[in-house]
Amino acid sequence: MCRTDCLCWTLPLAGLRVTMAPVFTLVCLLAAISRVTSQRIPPYITKPDAQTKDYIKYESEVVLPCTAEGNPRPTYKWYFKGDEVRSTNEYIKVDSTNGTLTIPSFTDREQGEYQCAVENNVGSEVNPLAMSPVTTLTQIVLESWSDSGAPPTPIIKSEGQYASLECGDVPESVPPARFMWFRQGTDGTQEQVKESKRIYIDDKGTLHFVFLEVEDQTDVDIYKCAMYNDNPDNIQLGSPKKLTVKPETVKPQVPPRNVFKTADPQFLIGQKAELECVFSGHPIPSVHWYDLRRGPITTNKKYKLDKNNMKLQIVNLTDDDGGIYRCEGNSSTSDNDIIFLNVTSGPIWVQGINNQTIPEGRDATFTCKARSARAENEPSAPVWYKNGVEINMNNPPGNGKIQFSERGRVLTVTNLTKPDDIMCIQCRVANSMGSEFANGCLNVIEPISVTTQPPLKQGIKKGDLVNLTVRGTTDPGMTLRYRWEFKNETYYTELPPHVIYDDVTKQTYINTTNLSDEEYDQIEGNYSRVLFHNFETRRVSIDVVLEDGIVGPILISGAGVPIWLIILLILLILLIILIIICCCCYRKKKDRGAYRVYAIEKDTIYLHPDKDIEDHKFQNVTSIEPEGDESLKKRLNPNYDLSDDDMDSLDGYAGGKFNAAYFSDDASFVGQYATRASQDL
């Protein structure tokens, strides 16, 4: 089965299909390589890759390499102090093929900043130009020491005392000089003075004697300071110094005293700082260092104590290393001094521009943000360049194609088109300590385009074919790759379960005919076909929904009714029953306390009001007897003879007025009787 992006060839042979996979794999590979190498790519400088400063000996040969990649192969040129180096320049030679700049004999005339530039052609009149970081060449200088020829003035000290010999009138040195001392005899022989716990040479060249010994004096010989720099062939000797030491019977005890410290040290971020603190005294003082924020300093990866602890080295400086340091002789109660270390820097990149490859139709953003060291002024606003030519930010080229934001620190190229917007962008930022330069090239490619895709939502039934065929195209220089994503699984070389790829038709599908019910149930879900390369990703999502009753692992196979629907109906019935019960309870509660007249009461002819009153504790109520008509008595109860006394009693109850309506055939008689009795009571 062939699952590559290339087409797979098959040959019919005796009713069989023979796949030419091995042969065609090679063909596909060669085609892919051809497509990539044919893609035009803007230049990319690989060397020099960082800003450098080099010190060069006078009249020595200098070779500056520059290498770059790109398609077509780029050509090279160099800029010196902002101007292109022409082929007519007899002091500087440039090889446009291999990018090398050569200075046969370097002098102060060739001092300055150099930048390599590479350029190629990626379209009609489209020539992106990339520029390297700056390389600064400086001539090594060490001037001669002036010597008046006058005899040295002797320095006279006693044994055990402190003494120092200064170089004096130190000549100019680029880079800064390093020092050593020699003891010169009358015969002209010279012996280098060795540093020890008692003898120290500081970074200014002064020779310190923590305490003097008789052996340090020079009766007939002299001391001479020597200085040198990056040119080992040039060493300068200073004026002679003479030292006389008067011996003592007993060496005196001298308490520690600070006699020298580094004054106003300033170092750049990333450099190694060296702080010096020289203490005199006898016995030899033990020097201790403290960071006033962090406490005592000991030797570790960050700090190194050297020369009897009189020199503190701090490596790979950062902003946090700036501050106050204290040096002490012997203990905290002894003499001590403080040094303020200033850590500074040229611009430090917060976000620099870089190379980008972006599909057509989108925007490209270049950010040029830098900061200074802590507590120092911020760098100036960036200066922008397009293909090495400075951009006027008030009137950028392209009729709105190039836009600036965030106070000129962000450049945006809008609505990219190929090849017109293939370009290289540069920016430069500066502060009081220096400048930084950055380059980034923009390559514009054709976007990924989906050429074939199935319906994105497919409702299927058992026996259907599920179409999952997705194909696309992209930029000729890119290799388009594919992967599947299904149910939280990613498939790069394999296919999701039950998915088939046909080598002949180039179709991807699922045939549900031969799937078991369990397998059929598993194919439901979202299938994502992802088309991608290094610079873009496109996703085609296909939802497959089962429409013949299989939803999840639970199935009512006989009726084909989903279980969730049955559960819903049961819950609805239960809800209706609950509502009916609530209504009945509410009605019963409403009728509570009211006397209900039942049918048996309506049919009752013979009433016993006296008994009713007695039962309800109305003992003092006079019996009610109807007045007058005997027929009324018989109506009430044919078997009851109402006496005159009874009638009189009833007349009294009714106030002498008998209302025959109380004894009507109306079934409300009982209720009216109870109400009237209650009122009289």
**Using one digit for the tens of pLDDT, what is the confidence trace for 41-55?**
999 999 999 999 999
- pLDDT tens for residues 554-581? 444 444 456 778 898 899 999 999 999 9
Q: Which of 606, 641, 601 is nearest to 625 (CA)?
A: 641
Domain identity same for 58 and 135: yes
Domain identity same for 590 and 608: no
Q: Please give the pLDDT value at position 561.
A: 59
Domain closes at, from 394, 417, 445 = 445
Residue 609 counted as domain residue: yes
Q: Please give the pLDDT value at position 141.
A: 95
Residue 169 counted as domain residue: no
CA distances from 114 to 76, 81, 82, 388, 586 (A): 13, 7, 8, 14, 98
Here the tokens at position 116 are 């390599």
Residue 256 counted as domain residue: no
CA distances from 256 to 159, 259, 281, 286, 605 (A): 16, 9, 5, 9, 136
Domain identity same for 589 and 608: no
Alpha helices in 64-219 (DSSP H): none
Q: Residue 255: is the preceding peptide bond cis (ω within 30°)? A: no
Given the DSSP bridges, would you call strands 287-291 and 323-329 parallel, antiparallel or unpaired?
A: antiparallel
Domain identity same for 81 and 47: yes
Domain closes at, from 531, 566, 594 = 594
Please tell me the distance from the alpha carbon of residue 567 to that of residue 550, in angstroms, as a whole number: 16
Helix, strand or coil, per DSSP, at residue 633: helix
Domain identity same for 564 and 653: no
Residue 517 counted as domain residue: no
Sites in the chain below the pLDDT cut of 50 = 1-37, 550-560, 595, 598, 600-602, 604-606, 618-629, 632-638, 640, 642-644, 646-681
Q: Please give the pLDDT value at position 36.
A: 43
Residue 48 counted as domain residue: yes
Residue 181 counted as domain residue: no
Domain identity same for 110 and 68: yes
Q: Give the angle subtended at the CA of 91 by the CAs of 88 and 93, to the nearest 5°.
A: 65
- Segments forming the whole domain that contains residue 652: 604-680
249 phi-psi bin (left φ>0, alpha ψ -120 to 50, beta other): alpha
Strand order in the sheet with 402-405: 364-367, 410-413, 402-405
- Amino acid letter, residue 478: M
Please tell me the distance from the alpha carbon of residue 78 to that of residue 87, in angstroms, as a whole number: 10
Please tell me the distance from the alpha carbon of residue 202 to that of residue 672, in angstroms, as a whole number: 129
pTM above 0.75, yes or no: no
Domain identity same for 578 and 621: no
Domain identity same for 48 and 135: yes
Helix, strand or coil, per DSSP, at residue 650: helix
Here the tokens at position 543 are 């939802």
How many domains in the chain?
Answer: 4
Domain identity same for 585 and 638: no
Q: Please give the pLDDT value at position 188.
A: 82
Q: Please give the pLDDT value at position 599.
A: 52
Domain identity same for 637 and 580: no
CATH of the domain at 431: 2.60.40.10
Residue 223 counted as domain residue: no
Domain identity same for 610 and 590: no
Residue 197 counted as domain residue: no
